[in-house]
Amino acid sequence: MEQLSHDKYPIQAESTRDGVLESASKRVRMIFSVMASPNRIDILRILNSKGPLTYSELKSLAGFKSKKESGKFAYHLRKLLRQSLVALNKAERRYTITNLGKLVLSLARQIEERSIIESGKMYVRTTRPSIEEFNSNKIIQSLVREANMPLEQAHKITEEVENKIYKFQAVYLTSSLIRETVNSVLIEHGHEEYRNKLARLGLPASDIVEMLSNADAAKNGLETLMSKASQSIFSEYLLINTLPKDIADMHLAGEMNISNSGTWGLIPDTIFLDVTNFRENAMDLKGKFLNVSRMPLPGINNSNDFETYLSLLISLLSREASTEVVLEGIIPMILEQTKEPAEISSRFAKALMLSSIAPSYTQSGLPATTITIPADGHDVTSVTALLSGYQKYVDSTPVPRIGISLIYGDMNDQQNQLRYHLDPIASLVRSGGIISLSHDDGLRASSGIRKSIRGKSSGTVITLQSLSINLPRLAYQSNKDETYFRARLALMIKPALAALYIRKKAVAELIRKGTVPALSGNSDFIQSGTTNIIINLIGARESVNDILGHHSKNNGMEVLQKVLKTSVDVALDQGRYIGEGSVGVAMIADDSATRFATLDSDKYGRAYLQSTQQNSTTYSQGLTLYGEQLLMPNDDNSGSLIEECLSVDKLLSGGLSITLDVTELASNHVQLKKAIEAASGIPFFRPMVKLMVCNSCGKRSGSRYQERCEFCGSSHMLLIH
């Protein structure tokens, strides 16, 4: 019937249709007239990217800043409102772009791009992002401004670059392609220094594709991918633009190693923080982390906030250290009002679990956090309750990265009190907990790094220690001459300290600018904080015993002591020369040992590497004791091993990592306890058991020899210790 009615009045229907078309055509013409103004297109672009905006915000962003231009801006905005390209929310008094406005903006962009193609000119897709006509003057400006090149020379380079670009016969250029061409011309003319200043840093597309293809292996999901990409950029910047060329070459050649190179010039490695200082001087984040809650340090009257405060503190500080955060003064907060052992255990476990979500910059999950427990300052029941709470955290976390440090008054106190704590300590070690024991020696991180160098420290201390020297390489190049070896080591310490001094200034500048807000807002550190510079030595056993040929049965320990004393004395003298008093030498574990061993194997052959060590894939780091060695009956070997640890530890001003490996005793609880007790004469040590964790299901295995997960059958197993 409806069709018949239309057929009945064909002239009237056609007239109506013509009227609609004429009205639509008029509307289109009006919209095109709106598009004819660059100012109105700019307003649409601003609202599309930053809206909704108030009248004054939009006016300012559109560039109409003077009072004289107010009428002009109002005219353009009124035009957009009339054509329904922009809408006003009267309740909020904010302007927003409509769907029709977005369509018009998209059409304008397509017309602009097509006109560029038809014009035959060359245009550049910039990183802002925008499309601009190619302008060689911008190359000259970059050469002068970024590379500090003389103007006349910049003109000559630009002329050659321009000739190359016009030969490309491309419609669209990119800013990265232009920069690559400039750098190519600079290299051809031998201007490597200028090229390094202009180089674009980042990952090639193939690396990004590989990262995304293997995203299932990213331990912390998107955080791992983003961290890996950003660290690649900062690592490249460090080696090309920050470090002197000779130091960068030493790192690349494997003579020294810079660990955590992606964060090396940004944040410290270890932070020692006494939180009791905050009771008078609160940590002030100021304008940083505005989405993070501000709360005072839990005191005597509000210790119920302990769990929340600890998780916030660890989450913030984990962003500001690459290796470890050591917290003093935490335990008194929970023990001030909480007296029941069950409640102490429960609250401590809850606080640690809440803190376990803290961010990480590395694949290995660093930085770790260590909470100090003054074992001699609290009763046995309270300490046992804290250990019980830590056990709950360890049992619920496949790879823990929060550890505890039990601190005793002196060796006698440790040996007397340790027997009350041995059972829970042994259980924690078997479960994969991170626990260290120390006495009478000043505070240390779980890595073995000292807080105080020659008695110099404050409440808050940061250390810069992630630079290691390859001792086996030096020993091999010294033709088995111990004196020549020590002379070469002394020469290596000078550039190592120079690199760390550059790093100290860079980190201090970023702290001053507030880039690490928890440290920047710590008035105790700003007023009297200490920054320690520490050089790490790798492969001491291989260099002295295997390459130089001074085995432990003859004069090996004597030669090692001479080597360490030389390094400490030279570092101290060189530190005084550059005005640094807090300079030390350490032997700790980092990521350099395997890299050094691999590079030396490639350089000198695998036969050389196998002749220097039992494990041909890595070098020794710090000192390692084995539990079964300490328990050998009628053998003086255990006593001599402990004496060696004591003598080396006494020499190293920066710290020593002493690991007690009780993996072989893990199934025998009694023997494991005896081994820990036998090592209690050492000022600092960390007992540990090597375990396997499944990368697929996240379950922990009690045996380090398993090739497949006993729960899901996966072969993707991760060794932790």
pLDDT at 719 over 80: yes
Residues 110 and 136 in one domain: no
**Average pLDDT of the segment spanning 629-658:** 86
Identify whether residues 325 and 435 lie together within a single domain: yes
Nearest partner of 97 among 60, 52, 34, judged by Cα:
52
Confidence of residue 278 (pLDDT cuts 50, 70, 90): low
Question: CATH number, domain at 100?
Answer: 1.10.10.10
Query: Are 308 and 302 in contact, with CB atoms under 8 Å apart?
Result: no
Segment 587-593 mean pLDDT: 92
Alpha-carbon Rg of the chain, whole angstroms? 33
* Residue 154 domain flag: yes
pLDDT, greater one: 217 or 133: 133
Q: Quick one: pLDDT at residue 7?
A: 46
Summarize the confidence of residues 139-143 as an average pLDDT.
90
How many H helices and E strands in the chain?
29, 22
Last residue of a domain, one of 143, 170, 198: 198
If asked whether residues 169 and 75 sit together in one domain, one would say no
For position 302, what pLDDT does the model report?
56
Q: Is 691 helix (H, G, I), strand (E, B) or coil?
A: strand
Mean pLDDT to the nearest integer, 483-507: 94
399 and 281 share a domain? yes
Same domain, 279 and 414: yes
Beta-carbon contacts of residue 529 (< 8 Å; ≥ 6 apart): 458, 459, 460, 461, 462, 522
Distances (CA, A) of 194 to 185, 200, 250, 251, 629: 11, 12, 22, 22, 58
Q: Are 182 and 293 part of one and the same domain?
A: no
pLDDT at 406 (0 to 100): 94
Residue 355 domain-assigned (yes or no): yes
Does 381 lie in the same domain as 279?
Answer: yes
Is 90 exceeded by the pLDDT of residue 707? no
- Gap between the Cα atoms of 551 and 541, Å rounded: 9
- Residue with structure tokens 């321009």? 162
Structure tokens at 466: 């992630």
Residues 129 and 78 in one domain: no
- 487 token code pair: 């002379």
User: Is the alpha carbon torsion for 562, 565, 569, 572 positive or negative?
Assistant: positive
CB 207 within 8 A of CB 235: no
Are both 391 and 333 inside the same structural domain?
yes
So what's the pLDDT on residue 4? Answer: 36
Q: Are residues 363 and 382 in the same domain?
A: yes
Q: Of 447, 465, 497, at which residue does a domain stop?
A: 447
**Residues 81 and 175 reside in one and the same domain:** no
**Both 109 and 170 in a single domain?**
no
Assigned domain for 303 exists = yes
Report whether pLDDT(708) > 90: no
Q: Which domain holds residue 403?
A: 270-447
HSE-up of residue 148 (Cα within 13 Å, Cβ side): 3
**Own/partner long-range contacts of 91-95 (Cβ < 8 Å, ≥24 apart):** 92/52, 93/54, 93/55, 94/51, 94/52, 94/53, 94/54, 95/47, 95/51, 95/52, 95/53, 95/54, 95/55, 95/58
Nearest to 609 by CA among 408, 472, 489, 499: 472
Phi-psi region of 274 (alpha: psi -120 to 50; beta: other; left: phi over 0): beta
Q: Which helix (H) or strand (E) holds 608?
A: helix 606-612
Contact between 660 and 575 under an 8 Å Cβ cutoff? The reply is no
Sheet holding 717-720, edge to edge: 700-701, 691-694, 717-720
Structurally, how many domains does the chain consist of? 4
If you count them, how many residues does the chain have? 721
Alpha carbon 375 to chain centroid, angstroms = 32
Q: Does 175 map to a domain?
A: yes
Dihedral sign computed on CA atoms, order 73, 74, 77, 83? negative
Report d(CA 528, CA 542) in Å as an integer: 41
**For the residues 292-309, what does the mean pLDDT come to?**
67
Alpha helices, H only, 340-410: 341-355, 380-395
Report field, pTM of the whole predicted structure over 0.85: no
Query: Peptide bond before 129: cis, by omega within 30 degrees of 0?
Result: yes
**146 near 191, Cβ under 8 Å?**
no
Residue pLDDT, tens place only, 410-464: 777 777 788 889 999 999 999 999 999 998 668 999 999 999 987 766 678 999 9
* Final residue before a domain boundary, out of 79, 96, 115: 115
Mean pLDDT score of the chain, rounded to an integer?
85
Q: Which residues pair with 325 in a beta bridge?
A: 271, 369
Residue 580, domain member (yes or no): no
AA identity, residue 391: Q
Residue 112, pLDDT > 80, answer no
Rounded to an integer, what is the distance from CA 250 to the centroid of its chain? Answer: 23
466 is a domain residue: no
User: How many other β-carbons are positioned within 10 Å of the β-carbon of residue 388?
Assistant: 19
Q: What is the DSSP letter of 456?
A: B
Q: Would 427 be classed as within a structural domain? A: yes
Decide the pairing of beta strands 94-97 and 131-133: unpaired
Within a domain: 672: no
